[in-house]
């Protein structure tokens, strides 16, 4: 879910860094960490419904995620909901990335707790 929202918010940009191929890179010494597989819409739907029922997400936020899972882009889905637009403006100063980050963190914590994972 975090990766999905990050992609929609444009936070998953790739940066190219130039370096001499003859020099060893400190990044080579780091182990590569693979991301856990993302949930598909079918797997995420029960967590989404439970998060709305537990008031982790508002009904409007639940509708936003459903719209995104149905293929709509974030801004058009958000534009349909006045409550979300007000919250974005008043609590996050219009910063969509900050809102998506906060939203993602709430949802990720809920999913981890609901799944009983460490």
Looking at the domain assignment, is residue 19 inside a domain?
no
Q: Which of 65, 47, 53, 37 is nearest to 116 (CA)?
A: 47
Looking at the domain assignment, is residue 77 inside a domain?
yes
Count of domains for the chain: 1
> What is the pTM (predicted TM-score) of this model?
0.60
Looking at the domain assignment, is residue 40 inside a domain?
no
Looking at the domain assignment, is residue 23 inside a domain?
no
Angle between helix 96-115 and 2-9 (nearest 10)? 170
Looking at the domain assignment, is residue 17 inside a domain?
no
pLDDT in tens, the chain (118 residues): 666 666 666 555 555 555 555 555 554 544 554 555 567 778 888 888 888 999 998 998 888 888 888 888 888 888 878 888 888 889 989 888 888 889 888 888 888 887 775 4
Looking at the domain assignment, is residue 25 inside a domain?
no
Q: Which of 90, 2, 107 is nearest to 56 (CA)?
A: 107
The predicted pLDDT at position 3 comes to 64
**First and final C-alpha spacing in the chain:** 17
The predicted pLDDT at position 90 comes to 92
Looking at the domain assignment, is residue 5 inside a domain?
yes
Looking at the domain assignment, is residue 66 inside a domain?
yes
Task: Quote the domain boundaries for residue 93.
Answer: 1-10+47-118
């Amino acid at each position: 879910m975090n990766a999905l929202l990050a992609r929609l918010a444009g936070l998953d940009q790739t940066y190219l860094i130039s370096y001499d191929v003859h020099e060893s890179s400190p990044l080579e010494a780091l182990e590569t960490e693979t991301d856990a597989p993302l949930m598909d819409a079918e797997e995420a739907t029960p967590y989404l419904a439970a998060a709305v029922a537990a008031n982790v997400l508002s009904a409007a936020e639940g509708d936003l995620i459903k719209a995104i899972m149905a293929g709509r882009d974030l801004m058009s889905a958000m534009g349909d909901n006045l409550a979300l637009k007000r919250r974005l403006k008043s609590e996050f100063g219009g910063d969509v990335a900050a809102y998506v980050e906060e939203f993602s963190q709430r949802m990720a914590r809920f999913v981890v707790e609901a799944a009983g994972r460490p």
